[in-house]
Structure 1
Amino acid sequence: MLIAMAGLPGAGKSTVAGALGRRLAAPVVSVDPIEAAMRRAGVGPDQPTGLAAYLVAEAVADGVLALGQSVVVDAVNAVEAARGQWRALAARHRVPVVFLEVVCSDAGVHRARLAARRRGIEGFPEPDWAAVERLRAEFEPWPRERAEGPGRPERLVLDSLDEVEWNVSTALGFLGAVS
């Protein structure tokens, strides 16, 4: 199975992705450290490092799926083109794709979490609230009609105001209904 995270920076998707990866014993492929590594290698921020990082993440996830393992992809996935990339990869491997969108329903909490966040990804500056607001404006809506199977939605929305373990248990129940 391909599990693709989605959500704004600082919403809590990496926390859920890591906890879910541990519970499923599935690797987590995260776009931000990949992009940071490109920058450390000398690829300038004026280059399309974001797109390149998604393509590298796809190549890594492709290798994991080829081994017959599930994989969690940790990325913003704000636009339909990015989501389509994961759908196409899953289709090539004939495995289900599920999107877990993590939101923080309290803007004040979200903003405070973002301000306090220190992930320590060398070469990757933390976005500020203005960057999150710009990305929120670009976040494309999810198609209502898309479903992976009869009556099954492809996306579950989790609120990071809920405890991580609650969100992981909810996600596992959703994934169990898919597989």
Structure 2
Amino acid sequence: MLVAMAGLPGTGKSTIGQVVASRLGLPVVPVDPIETAILQAGIATDQPTGLAAYLVAETLAERVITAGSGVLVDAVNAVAPAREQWVNLANRLGEPIRFIEVICSDPELHRSRIEGWRRSMPHIQLTWNAVEQSLEEYSEWSGDSAAVARITLDSVEPLGVNVERAVAFLAG
């Protein structure tokens, strides 16, 4: 199975994704460290490093799946083309796909997470203004990805509650 996370930075998607993947024995393919590596290699920030990172993640996810394992992809997946990428990969490989979307319904909590975040990837800087702009650009679920099974978790709920809901969703 291909599990694709979705949600803005700071919503808790990576934390939830890591715990869910650990519980299910799934490897995680995270996009942010891939983009960091691309930037560390000297590729200019005005280049499409985000797209490159998604394409590398897709290649890695495909390799993991064809080797016989499921995989969890940790990415923002804010726009339809990004989501469709995972739907197309699953269809191409004949694998089921599930999306786990994570939101934070409390804007002040979300902002405090972003402002207090100490990123391990210094090449990717994140500000609350950037997240607010991303929210404006976050597209509705449409096309093939709208028809795929998806759960939306709110990270104001305790981590354990969200993990249990995600695991139950993936098992169902």
RMSD of aligned C-alpha atoms? 1.3
Cα distance in 2 for partners of 1:64, 1:164 equals 27
The question of whether the paired residues in 2 share the 8 Å contact of 1:29 and 1:57 is answered with yes
Query: Where in structure 2 are there 5+ consecutive unaligned residues?
Result: none
- Report the TM-score, using the length of structure 1 for normalisation: 0.92
CA deviation vs aligned residue, 1:2-28 (integer Å, no higher than 9, x gap): 100000110110001111111111111
In the alignment of these two chains, the number of paired residues is: 171
Q: How does 1:31-70 map to 2 (within 5 A)?
A: 31-70=31-70
Aligned to 1:133: 132
What are the Cα deviations for residues 123-174 of structure 1, in whole angstroms up to 9, with x where unaligned?
A: 222x1011001110111101399434xxxxx110000011111111101111
1:171 aligned residue: 166
Question: Equivalent residue for 1:77?
Answer: 77
Asked if structure 2 preserves the Cα contact closer than 8 Å seen for 1:33 and 1:124, the reply is: no
In 2, the alpha carbon distance for the partners of 1:128 and 1:41 equals 23
Unaligned runs of 5+ in 1: 149-153
Distance 1:164 1:57 in 2: 26
Aligned to 2:25: 25
**Aligned counterparts of 2:53 and 2:88: Cα–Cα separation in 1:** 17
Aligned amino acid, residue 140 of structure 1: S
Deviation beyond 4 Å, 4+ runs, structure 1: none
Question: How has the CA–CA distance of structure 1 residues 52 and 144 changed in structure 2, closer, same or farther, with 3 Å as cutoff?
Answer: closer
Residue equivalent to 1:151: none
Contact 1:3 1:71 in 2 (8 A): yes
Q: TM-score, structure 2 length as denominator? A: 0.95
Residue 93 (structure 1) shift = 1.3
Structure 1: distance between partners of 2:112 and 2:124: 19
Aligned mates of 1:13, 1:166 — CA distance in 2: 14
Give how far 1:108 is off. Answer: 0.2
